Amino acid sequence: MIPSRRCYALLAVGGLSAALLDILINRQVSLNFLRVYNFSLLIATILDASQVKNGAVEVTRQEIGKLSVGRDNAIALQIKSGEQKAIAVAKQVRRTQRTQRVIAQIRDAYPPEFRVDRDTLEVNLPANSVTEETYIIYPDHRGEYTWGDLHVRQLGKLGLGWRDWRISAQQQVRVYPDLIGLKELAVRLAIENSGAMRQARRMGNGTEFAELREYRTGEDIRLINWKATARRDRPVVKVLEPEQEQTLFILLDRGRLMTAKVGGLKRFDYGLNATLSLAMAGLSRGDKVGVAVFDRDLTTWIPPERGNHHLSKLVERLTPIQPVLLEPDYLGAMTKVITQQTRRALVVVITDLVDVTASSELLSAMMRLTPRYLPFCVTLNDPLVAQIAHTPTDSTKDTYCRAVALDLLAQRQVAFAQLRQKGVLVLDAPCDRITSELVNRYLELKARNLL
């Protein structure tokens, strides 16, 4: 039993009344009044809180599915107010139930390391009704976590005391990469896929033969099939489509630079989200997709496969992986790709670099992939560095910070220029935009048949 604010207010009123009696009559009358008043209030509060048990709310947490890291995830609680029992005639009971309201507070034992929009849910609902309350949780780490019991506190009908109890509701919940983003991307790709493929075939883009059809005014005469034209005695053109069953291989760095946090998430989490989104885009275009994760060694190797089932395998295999404070071995990772992946492929390396000197191994490793493969270096930059570099300064300290930021940006551009000179594709984007820009760049490469 926990006294409410009304109980404390009535307690204060009793004290003031006792003080007034002490002044007007005498102290003995005041003390006797105070004893009787406080005792009556205590009994009323205890009875009020104990009566809650007869009409206690029922709270159920709906099954928590897969949570997405770095996203707002909704957790739903179903709340049912119990029957309010009273000793009265039937009409009076029904009238009381129509007017009686249930006031309760609910706290869910979510993992304390995550942020929520509200830690206490306050409900005020009619008797014999059901409602649903949700709170938003923002997980910034992947892994498996425990949701504990539900803590419920309900106010008595007189508003004097709260009854506090616990509902057993422990549940193991796993936090995955950005599955919400994958669902959104899947819808986008499904809409674009048919239209993009029809457009590519209509324009004659691609390298694979699809069909023969009659020539239409304005089409490229180079696509005319002269043998079929001679047989049919009318112009016939070849319809080409983008080549299917190409290979996309993604190398994800989990080394030292990927442990840094940007905007509340580690760089590796942004890279992992981009990896899965790029894999989904590749699978939707009919490509084989493989993924490898490396630091000082090659820790994970998933051979290229086709089909939507392969995406589920990638999600399950990559979700438990965390970044480590080790320098990555780029040459070792590229050597593994060269020995294992004999067919030409688009090799995407998702990492970060600081300057030409510190990233010399990355530069030499990427150059080893040309011209046999199509290398693609993807780096995740910190928007804060660019903001500091382009913000005017007033103090000496800020000026030094800006100078360092400008130097870092300049050295990155030198490194990117060297990569481009050797035939390496480069994409440098802020962490929070890397996924969308990488997928768009891949779709552009497919549309242009650069692979």
Q: What confidence tens digit (pLDDT) does each residue in 232-283 have?
A: 888 888 776 655 578 999 999 999 999 999 988 999 999 999 999 999 999 9
Q: What CA–CA distances, in Å, run from 203 to 200, 211, 252?
A: 5, 13, 35
Q: Is the peptide bond before 371 cis (omega within 30 degrees of 0)?
A: yes
- Whether 1-175 and 247-447 share one fold: the answer is no
Share of the chain above pLDDT 90, in %: 52
Q: What CA–CA distances, in Å, run from 74 to 32, 57, 102, 132, 255?
A: 55, 22, 24, 12, 32
**360-367 vs 396-421: helix axis angle to the nearest 10?**
20
Domain boundaries, the chain: 1-175, 180-241, 247-447
CA distance 349 to 290: 12
CA distance 113 to 216: 64
At residue 399, φ and ψ (nearest 5 deg) are -65, -40
Q: Can you list the positions of beta strands (E) in 247-383?
A: 247-253, 261-262, 265-266, 288-294, 298-305, 346-351, 374-381
Average pLDDT of the chain to the nearest whole number? 86
CA distance 64 to 66: 7
pLDDT greater than 80 at residue 318 = yes
Q: Alpha helices, DSSP H only, in 252-322? A: 267-284, 308-318
Between strands 208-214 and 150-155, the pairing is unpaired
A 10 A CB-CB count for 256 gives 15
How confident is residue 447, by pLDDT bands cut at 50, 70 and 90? confident
Q: Which CATH class for the 1-175 domain?
A: mainly beta
pLDDT of residue 85: 43
CA triple 270-272-275, angle to 5 deg: 110
pLDDT of residue 82: 67
Asked whether 168 and 419 are in contact (CB, 8 A), the reply is no
pLDDT of residue 29: 85
Q: Which fold has domain 247-447?
A: Rossmann fold (3.40.50)
pLDDT of residue 429: 93
